[in-house]
Structure 1
Amino acid sequence: MGTHVIKMPDIGEGIAQVELVEWFVKVGDVIAEDQVVADVMTDKATVEIPSPVSGKVMALGGQPGEVMAVGSELIRIEVEGSGNHVEAPQAKPAEAQPAPAAAPAPSQPEQRAVPAAPANPPVATPSAAAIVPRQANEKPLASPAVRKRALDAGIELRYVHGSGPAGRILHEDLDGFMSKPQTQAGQAPSGYAKRTDSEQVAVIGLRRKIAQRMQDAKRRVAHFSYVEEIDVTALEALRQQLNLKHGDSRGKLTLLPFLVRAMVVALRDFPQINATYDDEAQVITRHGAVHVGIATQGDNGLMVPVLRHAEAGSLWSNASEITRLAHAARNNKASRDELSGSTITLTSLGALGGIVSTPVVNTPEVAIVGVNRMVERPVVVDGQIVVRKMMNLSSSFDHRVVDGMDAALFIQAVRGLLEQPACLFVE
């Protein structure tokens, strides 16, 4: 038998270290060739690491959340044959010289070793058998102080095992019972019961990257937000009509491809908003292509896959690509290229969008457009009160690059296009 060592691979793009996110194997597991053993994360994406060999896992090179250098040992596997790793020979230690005989100690009375008491004596917890309750009419033995404490904690004493004389329930028995999960049978369902439980969640993987990016964006970007309301009654009527006519053959349209189209058209007159800012080099790059980041919430956190060349896509092609990217992001299947290179971001919480939000600029971009919830409400049109479908756009900009007037004019241009949706398609 030999040993095969898998080292942290060079993922490219000059990345010198990555974060170990999750192990899919443990020591002692027998794995097959091409089986994924771990997920690691770069600044842009999660990458699966497969095993090139079959064998038995001998050792793991790190813990989830640990940052590991490219080339460091990731996993050690016992394989048939010689493997790819040979242990370096260990130098033989010098022979120990006999120590000089110590002078005999003065005669002392023989003392017997006494074991040290543990620093934290274990708390007595009820055994599984103690979960069997007493009869409903059987009054458990307990002092008034124990009864009051149990009442305050919402605990039925008939479920608590007593370790005192004649089964008397002591304070220690309550301590042990309350150390069990809150769903333990016998705890009365009370919204006023005291809780002492807590949970620590390690900030690793995608959550760590999100935290770092948000902190960096808030520290470095001079944010300002601008909110405008939009009458989307005509736009909704057009969307529903298109879905009725072409939904079965071309796919259903949401509001997002219309918003993308409005941004694409409006950005023709505001190139300073479709830009990225390198604040270290003090260089603004204005982009002709509109690569729209679509903020997508997944189980592990927020990701921003990129709809590339939105300016060249139709409503349906952009809608199809948005759906594909969102599915890939939610299932952690988006590639590094699909998660990088955006020039402006669109974010929406759908029906949970609220009235107003203050989205954070996705650096190095200089603008993010946020979509709030659509609601029906009365508005005044030509002196008459009518019910219209209204929606707010809450957008944020980098004030170092975008002036307030330009931001307002850009959002007003988007508003005009959405309120008169025919203008979206007039060249």
Structure 2
Amino acid sequence: MLLSRRILHRRSWNSGRSCLSYLNSSPSKTVVLTDLKPQLVAQFSSSNSNFDFSYKLNNLYSIKGHYFSTNALESQSVNGIVEIPLAQTGEGIAECELLKWFVQEGDQVEEYQRLCEVQSDKATIEITSRYNGKVTKVLHTPGDIIKVGETLLKLTVDDSSVPYDAAGSLLGSDTFDSDGHKTEVKKIRKGEALCTPAVRSLAKEHSIDISDVTGTGKDGRISKEDVLKYALEKGIIEDKPALFNPGSIERMTGPEEKLHEMAESLYQDKILTLRAYQRAMVKSMTAAASVPHFHFVEEINCDSLVKLKSAFQKENTDPDIKFTFLPVLIKSLSMALTTHPLVNSTFNLETYEVTLKGSHNIGIAMATPSGLVVPNIKNVQSLSIFEITKELSRLQKLAMANKLPPADISGGTITLSNIGSIGGKFGSPLINVPEVAIIALGKIQKVAHFGDDGTVYPVSLMTANIAADHRILDGANVAFFCKDWKMYIEKPEMILLHMR
């Protein structure tokens, strides 16, 4: 009897394991929901309570258009309560910082309504709901670091609104069919008014039945203005009140109290927790410390570059586009990388393999209020200087708004750090692993230069400091590369001559 139990137990274990090998066979690929056969889902949700799902599904599998949680298959309604976990927001992401909540306890939540905003070390992402329900419990506060798979909040829902299959607990963006086309999802039940929890709260405050209010928004959505207008028409309120948050009004204090508070806090120790992009920089620089660096410094005459920038500005008719030196430097860098592909490569220490990258995805180091971030311009070898200018402007706006998506941050092949835009003649940068080179550009400044005949004349000079991975590159590699790059900068017409 004991032996037969062990045999049956082993058979069940192997059966489940064979099914899960389909998911685990290629962790770097995206698992598409439509590829999962109904039999497979049925087997996952079978009555075999001995099967250890948490052990087998210990990673979050990315599904096209969604985030698939580890406990997605088991997050069914328990006494009407559904837990909403932090889903996997990107490859290699283990935790996120909670930036803000869009809901609070007691709010009614609709399908696909925004719940919160989180930030990983790669991007800022909004988490949405997959259910209609009421927020029962909020488990974290803004600023908390949350591990992937941890519960964000709990919702009270009807059992009928919780689907039994795995698709019912997906978190992320819109759904897609098997052909990759977006599908429409009904967001409200029949007879329910389409509005936000804040609007429902406002209507409840004035004892207004929300279903009596006529919505003027898209698809009949009811806004706060609609509720206030209804209240005015029915005589519930006399005048349209100003909408404000009383909690945002600071308590007024005298000048002596203010000075006393400032004096007390000025010289006290403060603890700052590194978050998001700052944590990413810590990891990147820690990895860079294991790389043997060497630096190659060159001075570049930028007289022609200054004239070219001036000509671009005179011919510019787009007020949203600002021409700077950087787009030309990026394009000229790409031209030099074409003949020196080893500089545009990545190195894998585990396999001792160097990958020569076909695309020139040039990263630009940007200082933002959230820390240093390095988005990259994809396929610079195929872009014009004007296209590079527009793409650079787009990335800068997203970076300053802390809205860079993962696609704009990943996949870089070489990095430019334009410290000259802030100040300083040159810097000594550290490589952005697994790239093998990074370039720090100093400030362009007028200096006295001696000609071959002894005459002195002014020159617009810029210092470029190239940091290279000495395991892959040597001094000659970098010197020949920099010689060609310098030629393209000092003679921009050569870019036109060699451009394909």
* TM-score normalised by structure 1 residue count: 0.69
Q: Of 386, 389, 401, which residue of structure 2 is paired with 1:319? A: 389
Show the counterpart of 1:333. Answer: 403
1:361 aligns with 2:448: no
1:122-143 CA-partner distances (Å, limit 9, x unpaired): xxxxxx99x879xxxxxxxxxx
Show the counterpart of 1:89. Answer: none
1:260 aligns with 2:330: yes
1:299-328 CA-partner distances (Å, limit 9, x unpaired): 101111121110011110111111112212
Q: CA deviation at 1:226?
A: 1.9
**Greater Rg by CA:** 1
1:52 aligns with 2:52: no
Q: Which has the higher contact order (CA 8 A, sep 6+)?
A: 1
Distance 2:102 2:261 in 1: 29
1:412 aligns with 2:483: yes
8 Å contact kept, 1:32–1:54: yes
Distance 2:481 2:132 in 1: 58
SS of the residue aligned with 2:274? coil
1:30-85 CA-partner distances (Å, limit 9, x unpaired): 26434433333445323221233455433334464434133x32211345677659
Report percent identity of matched pairs. 27
Q: Of 94, 100, 107, which residue of structure 2 is paired with 1:30? A: 107
Q: Cα gap change, 1:316/1:280 in structure 2, threshold over 3 Å: closer, same or farther?
A: same
Alignment of 1:345-356 (within 5 A): 345-356=415-426
8 Å contact kept, 1:20–1:62: no
Q: CA deviation at 1:223?
A: 1.6
SS of the residue aligned with 2:261? coil
1:207 aligns with 2:278: yes
Q: CA deviation at 1:182?
A: 1.7
8 Å contact kept, 1:4–1:76: yes
Q: CA deviation at 1:371?
A: 1.3
Greater mean deviation of Cα atoms: 197-206 or 271-280: 197-206
8 Å contact kept, 2:363–2:413: yes
8 Å contact kept, 1:28–1:58: yes
SS of the residue aligned with 1:332? coil
What amino acid does structure 1 have at the position aligned with 2:397?
A: H
SS of the residue aligned with 2:479? helix
Structure 2's unaligned 5+ residue stretches are 1-78, 164-250
Greater mean deviation of Cα atoms: 38-47 or 354-363: 38-47
Q: Cα gap change, 1:54/1:332 in structure 2, threshold over 3 Å: closer, same or farther?
A: farther
8 Å contact kept, 1:247–1:253: no
1:321-355 CA-partner distances (Å, limit 9, x unpaired): 11112212222222211111111111113431311
SS of the residue aligned with 2:387? helix
1:278 aligns with 2:348: yes
1:69 aligns with 2:139: no
1:89-131 CA-partner distances (Å, limit 9, x unpaired): xxxxxxxxxxxxxxxxxxxxxxxxxxxxxxxxxxxxxxx99x8
What amino acid does structure 2 have at the position aligned with 1:73?
A: T
Q: Cα gap change, 1:132/1:76 in structure 2, threshold over 3 Å: closer, same or farther?
A: closer
Distance 1:380 1:371 in 2: 23
1:217-257 CA-partner distances (Å, limit 9, x unpaired): 22x21122222111101111122112212454994421111
SS of the residue aligned with 1:181? helix
8 Å contact kept, 1:65–1:204: no
1:194-227 CA-partner distances (Å, limit 9, x unpaired): 9541211112222212212212222x21122222
Greater mean deviation of Cα atoms: 45-54 or 56-65: 56-65
1:276-306 CA-partner distances (Å, limit 9, x unpaired): 0111221110112211112122110111112
Q: Cα gap change, 1:80/1:248 in structure 2, threshold over 3 Å: closer, same or farther?
A: same
Show the counterpart of 2:455. Answer: 384
8 Å contact kept, 1:305–1:340: yes
8 Å contact kept, 1:272–1:286: yes
Q: CA deviation at 1:17?
A: 3.0
Show the counterpart of 2:204. Answer: none
SS of the residue aligned with 1:326? helix
Distance 2:320 2:270 in 1: 47
Distance 1:195 1:322 in 2: 39
SS of the residue aligned with 1:408? helix
Q: Cα gap change, 1:29/1:392 in structure 2, threshold over 3 Å: closer, same or farther?
A: farther
8 Å contact kept, 1:3–1:84: no
Q: Cα gap change, 1:411/1:38 in structure 2, threshold over 3 Å: closer, same or farther?
A: same
8 Å contact kept, 1:58–1:77: yes
8 Å contact kept, 1:277–1:283: yes
Larger % of helix: which?
Answer: 2
Q: Cα gap change, 1:132/1:371 in structure 2, threshold over 3 Å: closer, same or farther?
A: closer
SS of the residue aligned with 2:105? coil
8 Å contact kept, 2:432–2:438: yes
Q: Of 471, 493, 497, which residue of structure 2 is paired with 1:400? A: 471
Q: Cα gap change, 1:132/1:205 in structure 2, threshold over 3 Å: closer, same or farther?
A: closer
Show the counterpart of 1:190. Answer: none
Distance 2:352 2:102 in 1: 46
Q: Cα gap change, 1:247/1:391 in structure 2, threshold over 3 Å: closer, same or farther?
A: farther
1:243 aligns with 2:310: no
* TM-score normalised by structure 2 residue count: 0.60
Structure 1's unaligned 5+ residue stretches are 86-127, 134-158, 161-176, 185-193
Q: Of 87, 93, 97, which residue of structure 2 is paired with 1:9? A: 87
Aligned residues: 330
Q: Cα gap change, 1:66/1:252 in structure 2, threshold over 3 Å: closer, same or farther?
A: closer
